[in-house]
Amino acid sequence: MKRAVLYLRVSSVDQHPETQGHDLRQMAAQRGYEIVQEYTDRISGTKAKRPGLGDLMRDARRGKFDVVLVWASDRIARSVKHFLDVLDELNRLNIEFVSFREQIDTGGPLGRAIVVIIGAIAELERNLIIERVRAGMRRARLEGRHIGRMPLVLDREAICSDRRLGQSLRQIARYHRISTATVRRVLRENAPAEQKEVA
């Protein structure tokens, strides 16, 4: 008998995880799985830190179960990439993933094929985004627009003057809105007098 765990997630206090739990327990009974643990999160799917999911993945690495049952794929992951990362880790740990709503079951050949297809679509989406960004940058260059951070404009004379007046590196940095490392560099690059002061 395979050891199964349920992962239940609801995104607001108004929803109750028991709705998902009922369907999943019924499915586990039909398949002859023994439910050894239930993990619950009452949190938005966009949140990276989820205690229930964290506990599930920790127990997965310890080999405490063979199958993960979820009501829907979007219950377990905050994005396609996150979903594929979770599936990939479960696959490496030889743990099956079963989704009630989408009828995905990585224990069978069709389920594994679906995961490969989802992965290919996600990779295509990433590549299209990268290509769109590159095209936008090329267009910006052709139009003469600056790309990236604007170069730092420093009043080197004022920085050296402030130092000669006895201001500390921190005071100068705060006044000119630059780092103390930049102040040191400017003073080093200028007259030997400043260089001695920094040393």
pLDDT at position 48 is 63
Q: Is the pLDDT of residue 61 over 80?
A: yes
Q: How far apart are CA 177 and CA 169, in angstroms?
A: 12
| pLDDT (mean) for 78-87 | 79
Given this model, what pLDDT does residue 127 score? 83
- Rounded Cα distance, 37 and 107, in Å: 19
Based on the residue annotation, tell me whether 11 is a catalytic residue of this protein. yes
Give the strands of the sheet with 34-42, arranged side by side. 34-42, 3-10, 67-70, 96-99, 104-105
* pLDDT of 93: 93
Report the mean per-residue pLDDT for the chain: 84
Average pLDDT over residues 32-50: 84
Instruction: Sketch the domain layout of the chain as residue ranges.
Output: 3-105, 156-198
What are the backbone angles phi and psi of residue 8, rounded to the nearest 5°?
Answer: -115, 130
Q: What is the pLDDT of residue 80?
A: 74
Query: According to DSSP H, which parts of 70-108 are helical?
Result: 73-76, 80-92
pLDDT confidence band for 194 (50 / 70 / 90):
very low
Please determine, for residue 24, whether its predicted confidence score (pLDDT) is greater than 50: yes
Q: Name which CATH class applies to 3-105.
A: alpha beta
Indicate the pLDDT class of residue 12, thresholds 50, 70 and 90.
low
- Per-residue pLDDT for 81 more than 70? yes
Note the pLDDT tens digit of each residue in 102-155.
888 888 788 778 777 776 776 787 788 889 888 988 888 888 887 776 677 788
What pLDDT is recorded for position 6? Answer: 96
Q: Measured between alpha carbons, how far is 156 from 176 in angstroms, rounded to an integer?
A: 10
At residue 13, the pLDDT reads 56
**Average pLDDT value for residue range 164-170:** 91
User: Considering Cα of 168, then 172, then 178, then 181, what sign does the dihedral take?
Assistant: negative
Query: Taking the model in full, what pTM does it have?
Result: 0.58
* Closest C-alpha among 79, 129, 112, 100 to residue 21: 100
176 burial (CB, 10 Å; 0-12 / 13-18 / 19+) is middle
Mean pLDDT of 167-189: 90
Q: Residue 43 has what DSSP assignment?
A: S
Nearest Cα to 8, choosing from 103, 16, 17?
A: 17
- Looking at residue 193, its pLDDT comes to 47
Closest alpha carbon to 55 in 36, 79, 31, 27: 36
Q: Which of 11, 12, 99, 179 is catalytic?
A: 11
- The pLDDT > 70 percentage for the chain reads 88
Q: How many angstroms separate the CA atoms of 181 and 197, rounded? A: 14
Instruction: Tell me what pLDDT residue 199 has.
Output: 46
- Report whether 77 contacts 83 (CB < 8 A): yes
Which residue has 């990439």 as its token pair? 81
- Report the SS3 class of residue 23: helix
Please, are residues 31 and 43 in contact by the beta-carbon 8 Å criterion? no
